[in-house]
Amino acid sequence: MAHNATAMAGTELWMPARVSQLTEIRISPDRPRELMLDGELVADVAEVRLSVVPGALKCRALSPARS
């Protein structure tokens, strides 16, 4: 996602400037741009809003296979 965010901002290379912890972010490029969302290209994106929903993602770790 960071690459897409820098592309929308008009940056040619993906070079993160800093690391932040956020619960919400809104990205508005200077003009509508093409953006890849979940592997699909979406044309004319004028704004992207992302938010974190605590507890919405359940993760399970598998035990290593025993030999």
The dihedral formed by the CA atoms of 7, 23, 56 and 44, expressed in degrees to the nearest 10 = -30
Q: Which residues pair with 50 in a beta bridge?
A: 25
Model pLDDT, residue 43:
93
Predicted confidence pLDDT, tens digits, the chain (67 residues): 555 666 666 655 556 667 777 889 898 989 999 988 888 999 999 999 989 888 887 877 777 776 6
User: Which pLDDT score is estimated for 6?
Assistant: 60
- Specify whether the CB–CB gap between 8 and 18 falls below 8 A: no
What is the pLDDT, as a whole number, of residue 58? Answer: 81
Q: What is the pLDDT of residue 13?
A: 58
